[in-house]
Chains A and B, each alone.
Chain A
């Protein structure tokens, strides 16, 4: 008897132990969900405060502030900007993508790289290049021109990628049914680029709504420039908040428009497709005129900034390289960029984790919030945080914490993308194995999941920090007194028409943006399997 009891006891203990650790596992997994929910609620704060301020202001005041000719003018400006820029970007991106991906255009790979390169030039540097070349440039058409040059790569990337992934067998089938190449393009190729075009257009549209520096330089008023002006003159008046409300409404309209046009269809690809590489369209004698398009675009989008920056660097000579100031600005920028990136990545972990491991209603809800918050302009997030800190937590106003929090909220979606992909790389079986070996769930997350997801975390840090590197609007509104990042210094100097003095800052920003641009280009190639 005694012996039997002895042999049973350890097993019992083991079972109890295991139960305990299972319970532990479950409870701490809901801790992760709770963390994700908290992050989502925090990220909804800006939106919530706009609603709260609107309610506080009262309908009479609010409607008087919103329904006035000034807001109407801003709305017309913004709508016209979006309505002209996006179709031009679509036409340009589709044509360039077709030329570089599907024809025998000489130097197609080079042109493909150059079509992505404008992403390395921050939009306000692009604007600075143009305004210092043509000082008279202003108004809607100047805005459309510079916006197209600065943002068309956001459409070129997905469209070129979609074109590469298209099954050439479909085009062969359409041709065998008696359709000419132009009809095949219209009826088979274009419909399948629809999702890429819609997604890219949404991205361009959101950038147009959020951009500040580009439009101030050419004296074109949009909601974002008006909010910043309002903020600078009346600080935290309800007027700025009401404008922000209209801007948020514009963003939501864009999101819904895209969602509606996208529809529920996903165009699941049928079968694996032929292994045949698409046969390039032979341009023949048309190659020379066709080369003109990428050439002109490269001259306008890269040549102009290059020539202008070179001109100012030469004109400024050694005197503009105030290394002490530049060094200080670079140092401050790096601290903000790395700090913001670390915070954004950290708070993205719970959401990335549940979106891979616990997909379901909660995860879809959180992702929906995230999607909306991610599309809010920086100026809205900044204004909300100013309001919150001033009214509720004044000691936090203009502190490092607030600016980092703003960055984390603004760039959370960027951090999520790479993190999610890499957590998907760490199989759940490994976590279970580590758990069964007696590690607590939190330690499992740290020592197994995060260790495996580290490359993705690094990529997410890089993506976020480069976004912060060129951020201007929120930084201006939230950074502690005395902060002077590269973008702020550039902005101040170019605002004083010291174009030569601003040039070194622009060069540094471009140089730091190049690796990210290269990464995006390589990723889009890799996702298409080439």
Chain B
């Protein structure tokens, strides 16, 4: 039995649909990331779990207790669910100690000791305890917000884009610290974010949302390599989506004959490759090649970016399409944008052989757009 279950939750704001039939199950102790573009309903889903918002329909069950649905509604303050908001939402009229102690009973004998423990846990110096929130840096504020949410010992922790207000260098460090802290405490966590790299590195389970619907859930690796459709694929990273024809267990496409991981092996469909699957090699002499079906391309542009450079490869027609009677699209004119390390970046104007490592992933057709 899952720790948290959301069953077909619906939420409308007037005519606008915020959530449509969202179902999600989360395991105890797990770290789940809900990812989607802004306006996808991910924050609404978080607010429904927190109890700040009431679902129009559907059920929400935490650890066997019905929080919403079946005519029941447990208000936010009785749920025992901690939140860390985007900007920390620290109380500006209280100092750091009172902020952290806000959820602890005021006459508790161990209150001060607990506040100090929590400060140590989030790796902040106890000298900050008497400061006001506006005297702290953004990263420190987020740590205080986390300590404050941890103080009453929540059953579930909700993180609402807590790292997005931090600058890049701080973001990664804070995220790692939070992940290991929550992991050590064994607290089930849900992170809402629009940053795919954050979701991929933080969570052991990812749910992709769009337009109020849950498109796909799964492990980060599974979602990255086997996205359901092009939308999910592109949301989790750069993707090369190509039309292909399946012949004898191979996918025939502009990049040649590629192994197929799974799925049907007949007819036509679209396949997805991640750019890192594309290997560029200096063009071999055509005559000496033992591999007549190789795909060649020309480097039309390189964009120097330090260690990582962007290379634009334009494929050169090699007559491959005419060799297969399946009518795979001509390779000529197709441009690929690839990120390569500086050492692997061929100079502009040079000719390269293009090959693919690993298997192609077959995408499901996109559902028709909702009216």
Interface residues of A (CB under 8 A from B): 167, 169-170, 172-181, 184, 187-188, 191-192, 194, 265, 267-274, 276, 279
Q: Please judge, given known A-B contacts A170-B89, A271-B89, A271-B141, whether A179 and B83 are in contact too, CB under 8 Å.
A: no
List residues of chain B with CB within 8 A of the CB of A169.
85-87, 89
In the complex, the answer to whether B93 meets A270 with C-beta atoms within 8 Å is: no
Q: Please judge, given known A-B contacts A180-B77, A270-B141, whether A188 and B89 are in contact too, CB under 8 Å.
A: no
How close is B105's CB to chain A, nearest CB, in angstroms?
Answer: 10
Besides A173-B145, A271-B89, 5 other CB < 8 A contacts?
Answer: A174-B91, A175-B75, A177-B148, A188-B91, A271-B165
Q: Which of A184, A265, A271, A272 is packed against the most chain B CB atoms within 10 Å?
A: A271
Q: Which of A172, A265, A276 interacts with B83 by CB under 8 Å? A: A172
* 12 A–B contacts, CB within 8 A, in A order: A169-B85, A172-B47, A172-B76, A173-B149, A176-B82, A177-B149, A177-B152, A178-B78, A179-B103, A191-B93, A267-B93, A279-B52
List residues of chain A with CB within 8 A of the CB of B319.
none
Question: Could you tell me the distance between the alpha carbons of A178 and B104 in the complex, rounded to whole angstroms?
Answer: 9
In the complex, the answer to whether A279 meets B87 with C-beta atoms within 8 Å is: no
Chain A residue nearest in CB terms to B94: A191
Chain A residue nearest in CB terms to B151: A177
Q: What is the 8 Å Cβ interface bit string for chain B, positions 144-163, against chain A (1 contact, 0 not)?
A: 01001101101000100000
In the complex, the answer to whether B81 meets A176 with C-beta atoms within 8 Å is: yes
B88 at the interface (CB under 8 A from A): yes
List residues of chain B with CB within 8 A of the CB of A172.
47, 50, 52, 76, 83, 85, 89
B92 at the interface (CB under 8 A from A): yes
Q: Which of A180, A192, A268, A274 interacts with B89 by CB under 8 Å? A: A274
List residues of chain A with CB within 8 A of the CB of B86.
169, 271, 274
In the complex, the answer to whether B89 meets A173 with C-beta atoms within 8 Å is: yes
Q: Which of A178, A192, A273 interacts with B93 by CB under 8 Å? A: A192
B55 at the interface (CB under 8 A from A): no
In the complex, the answer to whether B89 meets A167 with C-beta atoms within 8 Å is: yes
B134 at the interface (CB under 8 A from A): yes
The 6 closest A-B pairs by CB, nearest first: A271-B87, A177-B103, A268-B134, A175-B76, A169-B89, A191-B93
Question: Could you tell me the distance between the alpha carbons of A53 and B53 in the complex, rounded to whole angstroms?
Answer: 66
How close is B88's CB to chain A, nearest CB, in angstroms?
Answer: 6
In the complex, the answer to whether B87 meets A173 with C-beta atoms within 8 Å is: no
Q: Which of B52, B87, B90, B133 interacts with A272 by CB under 8 Å? A: B87
Chain A residue nearest in CB terms to B43: A276
List residues of chain B with CB within 8 A of the CB of A270.
87-90, 92, 133-134, 141
Question: Could you tell me the distance between the alpha carbons of A170 and B88 in the complex, rounded to whole angstroms?
Answer: 9
Interface residues of B (CB under 8 A from A): 43, 47, 50-53, 75-83, 85-93, 102-103, 132-134, 138, 141, 145, 148-149, 151-152, 154, 158, 165
How close is B175's CB to chain A, nearest CB, in angstroms?
Answer: 18
In the complex, the answer to whether B88 meets A271 with C-beta atoms within 8 Å is: yes
In the complex, the answer to whether A173 meets B85 with C-beta atoms within 8 Å is: yes
How close is B144's CB to chain A, nearest CB, in angstroms?
Answer: 10
In the complex, the answer to whether A274 meets B92 with C-beta atoms within 8 Å is: no
Question: Could you tell me the distance between the alpha carbons of A178 and B138 in the complex, rounded to whole angstroms?
Answer: 25
In the complex, the answer to whether A269 meets B77 with C-beta atoms within 8 Å is: no
Q: Which of A177, A267, A269, A274 interacts with B102 by CB under 8 Å? A: A177
How close is A525's CB to chain B, nearest CB, in angstroms?
Answer: 22
Chain A residue nearest in CB terms to B53: A279
List residues of chain A with CB within 8 A of the CB of B81.
176
Chain A residue nearest in CB terms to B144: A270
In the complex, the answer to whether A175 meets B89 with C-beta atoms within 8 Å is: no
How close is A123's CB to chain B, nearest CB, in angstroms?
Answer: 34
Chain A residue nearest in CB terms to B138: A271
Question: Could you tell me the distance between the alpha carbons of A194 and B94 in the complex, rounded to whole angstroms?
Answer: 13
Chain A residue nearest in CB terms to B93: A191
Question: Could you tell me the distance between the alpha carbons of A279 and B154 in the complex, rounded to whole angstroms?
Answer: 24
Q: Please judge, given known A-B contacts A167-B89, A181-B77, A271-B141, whether A173 and B134 are in contact too, CB under 8 Å.
A: no
Q: Please judge, given known A-B contacts A172-B83, A271-B165, whether A178 and B77 are in contact too, CB under 8 Å.
A: yes
In the complex, the answer to whether A178 meets B50 with C-beta atoms within 8 Å is: no
Chain A residue nearest in CB terms to B148: A177
Q: Which of A184, A265, A268, A270 is packed against the most chain B CB atoms within 10 Å?
A: A270
List residues of chain A with CB within 8 A of the CB of B47.
172, 276
In the complex, the answer to whether A173 meets B80 with C-beta atoms within 8 Å is: no
Q: Which of B50, B91, B165 is packed against the most chain A CB atoms within 10 Å?
A: B91
How close is A192's CB to chain B, nearest CB, in angstroms?
Answer: 6
How close is A68's CB to chain B, nearest CB, in angstroms?
Answer: 45
List residues of chain B with CB within 8 A of the CB of A173.
83, 85, 89, 91, 145, 148-149
List residues of chain B with CB within 8 A of the CB of A276.
43, 47
How close is B95's CB to chain A, nearest CB, in angstroms?
Answer: 10
Question: Could you tell me the distance between the alpha carbons of A272 and B165 in the complex, rounded to whole angstroms?
Answer: 10
How close is A198's CB to chain B, nearest CB, in angstroms?
Answer: 13
In the complex, the answer to whether A178 meets B152 with C-beta atoms within 8 Å is: yes
Question: Could you tell me the distance between the alpha carbons of A175 and B152 in the complex, rounded to whole angstroms?
Answer: 12
Chain A residue nearest in CB terms to B78: A178
List residues of chain B with CB within 8 A of the CB of A192.
92-93
In the complex, the answer to whether B134 meets A274 with C-beta atoms within 8 Å is: no
Question: Could you tell me the distance between the alpha carbons of A273 and B160 in the complex, rounded to whole angstroms?
Answer: 12
Question: Could you tell me the distance between the alpha carbons of A269 and B88 in the complex, rounded to whole angstroms?
Answer: 11
In the complex, the answer to whether B92 meets A268 with C-beta atoms within 8 Å is: yes
Question: Could you tell me the distance between the alpha carbons of A173 and B89 in the complex, rounded to whole angstroms?
Answer: 7
How close is B14's CB to chain A, nearest CB, in angstroms?
Answer: 13
Question: Could you tell me the distance between the alpha carbons of A267 and B50 in the complex, rounded to whole angstroms?
Answer: 27
List residues of chain A with CB within 8 A of the CB of B151.
177
How close is A472's CB to chain B, nearest CB, in angstroms?
Answer: 41
List residues of chain B with CB within 8 A of the CB of A267.
92-93
How close is A261's CB to chain B, nearest CB, in angstroms?
Answer: 14
